[in-house]
Amino acid sequence: MRSIKVLLANDPAILREAVRAVIVRQPDMEVVGEILDPLGVLLAAKATHADVVVLGLRDAEEPGLVSHLLAECPQVTILGLAPHGDTALIVQMRPWRKEIVDPSAANLMRALRQAVREPGSAWHEPPSP
């Protein structure tokens, strides 16, 4: 199975570094680039053939950026993360959007895997203990 290619385009730097640290520990994922300029995200997603683009939640909720990204790269899954870490959102083409209630690293990685490997699937988080 090929690895999931992840493009990091989120700010602040501490969040980007934390996401990078989680991704590099995943045997089936690889970071293919980092871009800090929101306007360069589209070009970077095309150039790297990213499966996932990680954005700040503010950017992921921006209809212009998301719609352009999905129109030009419909295979991309967008993961939007809040800077304080309590909210996450997955957005895909067709339109499909899923809020991740418990955005722990394990839940985010499980959600990304399922979103990329089963686009549009109605995945569910495990029940809370």
pLDDT tens digits along 33-89: 999 887 789 999 999 999 999 988 776 566 578 888 888 999 899 988 877 777 788
Give the span between the Cα atoms of 82 and 94, in whole angstroms. Answer: 23
User: What pLDDT, on a 0 to 100 scale, did the predictor assign at position 54?
Assistant: 92
User: What pLDDT, on a 0 to 100 scale, did the predictor assign at position 125?
Assistant: 43
User: What pLDDT, on a 0 to 100 scale, did the predictor assign at position 126?
Assistant: 43
Q: Give pTM, 2 decimals.
A: 0.81
Domains and CATH numbers, the chain: 4-117 (3.40.50.2300)
The values of phi and psi at residue 106, to 5°, are: -65, -45
pLDDT tens column, 103-117:
888 888 888 888 888
- Identity at 20, one-letter amino acid code: R
